[in-house]
Amino acid sequence: GKWRNKERVLIFSSRGINFRTRHLMQDLRTLMPHSKADTKMDRKDQLFVINEVCEMKNCNKCIFFEAKKKQDLYMWLSNTPQGPSAKFLVQNIHTLAELKMTGNCLRGSRPLLSFDPTFDKEPHYALLKELFIQIFSTPQYHPKSQPFVDHVFTFTVTDERIWFRNYQIIEEDASLVEIGPRFVLNLIKIFQGSFGGPTLYENPHYQSPNMHRRLIRLSVAAKFREKQQVKEVQKIKKKGSKVLIEEDPTEVVFETPAEEKPVEIQLVKPESKPIVKDKKKLRKFQRKKQKKFFRTE
């Protein structure tokens, strides 16, 4: 048939990403035949430059990975000319190459997308759902796509985060094996414009990773400080509150000094005690003697 749905997704990243992120990016590129790659963006340029890059590459969607501090990974999903964009914090990345992901699928086959019912309940989730649909679904009759449907993407909302999984469909009775990759998206903000513009929605449950680390450190410090304080309180208790009792004159009344003993100087060494090698044996003999005595009585 005729390829009508001209969706194109630009997938690229900033500098300073680690191997896992790079592999994730490559995995997404293989799973989505309607994607395009680009070189790493320099940190110096501002984000709206990305829109120009997308226009040059003739893409209308974008997935941009941004790595900060070599630890945190942020992902931007955006509809480039003027559409909304969303920023996420990505966690728990597992790539295609992990040996526990045993499934496999055709390269470029079209996926089935499965969403949690929660996505229909809130407006921001509905917006995200639409964004996911447009980005992740392979257009029909795309030249690089395979016509079969043999894997399914699941998006689930659990614990205020969006969990992504990819399963291979083995049998018609829906027996599944995980292909990977898998990651968790923590929504930060939704903007009206692409990579900028007024904020449409801000996630109240979101805590920046810096804040998270800071809280951990504070809690550890607080525990330590508490221990110190307890120690100090104990010290004070020990020192203080020592009541001084006045001298009682009547106390000395009954005191009679003891008689002085004559000083004895020992000139001869005292006899040494018989060395008892085994106290138990001695006791044993004693007991036997007693028994005998008892018996003869």
Partner 1 sequence: DVTSGQVVDPASQGAADKDAVDPENDFQREMSFYRQAQAAVLEALPRLRKLQVPTRRPDDYFAEMAKSDQQMQKIRQKLKSKQEAMERSERAKQLRAMRKYGKKVQTEILQRRQKEKKNMLNAVKKYQKGLSDKLDFLDEEQTSSQGNKKGSASQWIKKGPNAKRRYKNQKFGFGGKKKGSKWNTKESFNDVSSFRSKVAHNKGPGKGGKKALNKRPGKRARQKMKSRAR
For residue 28 the two structure tokens come to 């997404």
Stretch that binds partner 1, among 12-20, 172-180, 261-269, 281-289 (CB under 8 A): 172-180
Kindly state whether residue 4 participates in binding partner 1, applying the rule CB under 8 A: yes
Least Cβ distance, residue 73 to partner 1 (angstroms): 20
Does 183 sit near partner 1 (CB under 8 A)? no
Q: Which of 18, 140, 234, 286 is in the footprint of partner 1 by CB under 8 A?
A: 140
Question: CA-to-CA distance for 132 and 23, rounded, in angstroms?
Answer: 20
Please give the residues from 16 up to 55 whose contact with partner 1 meets the rule CB under 8 A: 30-31
How far, CA to CA in Å, does 163 sit from each of 37, 148, 175? Answer: 24, 25, 20
Amino acid occupying residue 155:
F
143 near partner 1 (CB under 8 A): no
Task: For residues 143 and 60, give the distance between their C-alpha atoms in angstroms, rounded to a whole number.
Answer: 18
| Nearest residue (CB) to partner 1, 40 versus 207 | 207
Q: Does position 207 bind partner 1 by CB under 8 A? A: no
Does 228 bind partner 1 (CB under 8 A)? Our answer is no
Residue 99 within binding range of partner 1, rule CB under 8 A: yes
Distance of alpha carbon 179 from alpha carbon 165, whole angstroms: 8
Each residue 108-137 as x (binds partner 1 by CB under 8 A) or -, in order, gives x-xxxxxxxxxxx--------x---xx--x
Round to whole Å and give the CA distance between 164 and 250. Answer: 88
Among 158, 210, 219, 286, binds partner 1 (CB under 8 A): 158
Q: Is 107 helix (H, G, I), strand (E, B) or coil?
A: coil
Q: Which is nearer to partner 1, 212 or 289 (CB)?
A: 212
Judged by CB under 8 A, does residue 84 bind partner 1?
no
Cα three-residue angle 250-251-256, rounded to 5 degrees: 110
- 180: phi > 0 → left, psi -120 to 50 → alpha, else beta; which? left
Q: How far apart are CA 132 and CA 6, in angstroms?
A: 16
Contact (Cβ atoms closer than 8 angstroms) between residue 70 and residue 19:
no
Residues at the contact surface with partner 1, assessed by CB under 8 A = 4-5, 7, 30-31, 96-97, 99, 101-102, 104-108, 110-120, 129, 133-134, 137-140, 146-150, 152, 154, 156, 158-159, 163, 165, 167, 169, 172, 174, 176, 179
